[in-house]
Structure 1
């Protein structure tokens, strides 16, 4: 079976369930340094594994267990130490809403956050506090106060084992819900899921999910790459990047690069005949994922689902979405396209800055099929 068609059928199968998965993981038995493993994954798949949550961890652990004959201690994933500190949520959500108390966070370098009097304070992660978990139970708020004293890491483990995760606070309303729980419980300080570290995923994902072993990372700045322990839990350890280990790659299961050289109309027809559509890039997050996928293209540009209307002089997505987010290269994407020579369609550069460019629709390029990304 043609490999590109195989991936389309795989995509349809993955999306036939109620929730479509974003990544498909592959355990590679070969032993390589972290950098060589990264290069291999980018050439064969999308990148070294990025992990968003415990469901992803379970998928990876299952992939490894299918090859139990492999005798190795660790497997590389895509997390690498950068030295640039950033506050993020344990659940993997971006920290957009912040409610620090005056003077917080300070210059102490404390890496965990707790809540006091409705405001947030940085704190040493080994301090023992009560905490609040986000739960999937039927309470009105989906929040559970745990009246046990634990350090931040142990509180995180408790929430993940018994509920979903340590609580994320995404807006003022949620902040007020936490404050009410604390007042009702007569508690002054609780852990929340906010933490600070300097680790970044290879594919530039913003995922802040971490699954470190209790005493890890132990040598950040020296051991700058991450391997998961090939045991029942798959906890993470910081390791020297020059070690040779097996590794885990991922393939973007929602964006499929088709290495056929077709005109824009032919590409659109190909995607729709296989139950998908040419990709719409309606956010910076989708653009980041497109940038990772097009690295393996065999043409200098790759078709997107972007089309120019000469009648009304605008660009539009064939999915029907409005072009709000834009990433045009200079001199491209204007309303004054030369309609007399050829209808223009939008493509993304496979090299350089991977910006969008306007191309005659009869050019023959690779293209990206996707399901309807939300």
Structure 2
């Protein structure tokens, strides 16, 4: 057309789900298992519960002692990742569930940011070069009680070794000049904090100095010349980052935290106390931990909504990255759809319209499955195929008496819906609300629209004069034909009313066709 505690043989989980259908007045909604809690957080957009991240998920409290890295690996293998916490409402519910398990201390997914170079171009670094370091003994360290933000920027000392310092420290710095292969490093003497030094290097040269190997570390010594003391290089870290890379800024530190006390050699990770407050701890400590699992979602592959009767709608169960996904289970209106175990399914409207969900079924797992949010698959129910054969005038009268009007095809969506309904007709063509004015010389719809876009079949007369001057859609192919209005066909009615405004003293132009001049006052007309 142009136109619950769950026990396995090795570990214990407590499952906590962020559920989209809890009433806002409920603290907990119990599922089939009394140890599974649905956590609700208010939604600004609707009267149901939802995550601020809009991603449905559940949490698992794992009572098994692991380092932070081991816990991260476990969560990524069994679920999605270590827990990311978005807001206080979510935190309170998780805290309550953790207290019920008697876990005490548990890792969450927050960790001191990793070291990275200001010059982030991956092509600049060969294998393992971005990980090169030359730390001095006892470095990097975490800061002290007077410097709560830690020491997240790196300087080179005159002994060739590296130290981390607070980024607001004012010291000279080394820039990298990518256009000078002989002398790539430039010492800049006016002292600046790390951020200002980075800005200067990017404006005047390429970036703050990256050091990819020991050879380049020696070149830095030469570039320093006679300068004694420390100079900034381009290595830094973000203060804290979530394991899954999400940008949640929610933190709930205990008094005096983070204090960066302990071994900084393995970095600092975050544990949650039974009080719900957070503390930084050496990542090498062994603790229980909390995982989260992103739930599957139902997505429409085709066609584009809104849907029509007759549409074949393809749905896909988008699952997170599970390593032990066994099979897909589909549900319609809370009942399992038999024989549907593939990732994609196709349903036909209107008979299979309804509320669809999918869930994961893990192999050799006693963990209960968790459903996706429901996807409500509905269709345009404003159209009705009448299977009686009538003349065009009789069809028009019938629709206006029992519905609203004969259907006017004013969009691609309505055309697609009309095609779907027409396939069920007993006549080879189906009447539309399309008529030709032999006085004005153009086609128009009975709801008042001019025919801007069309879908005429080959050979159809677009200028039939005063002969065959009404339109029908073919049962097969969905194209339009002009026919004698005395023919008797099935027809499509609409139950949708259309309101338009017309104005005085001006020609209404639609599709470059002057329509008619209306009188004095604006009139609200409902067709």
Shorter-normalised TM-score: what interval?
Answer: 0.3 to 0.5
TM-score by length of 2: 0.30
Higher helix share: 1
Question: Bigger relative contact order, structure 1 or 2, given CA contacts below 8 A and separation 6+?
Answer: 1
Task: Work out which of the two has the higher radius of gyration on C-alpha atoms and give 1 or 2.
Answer: 2
TM-score by length of 1: 0.40
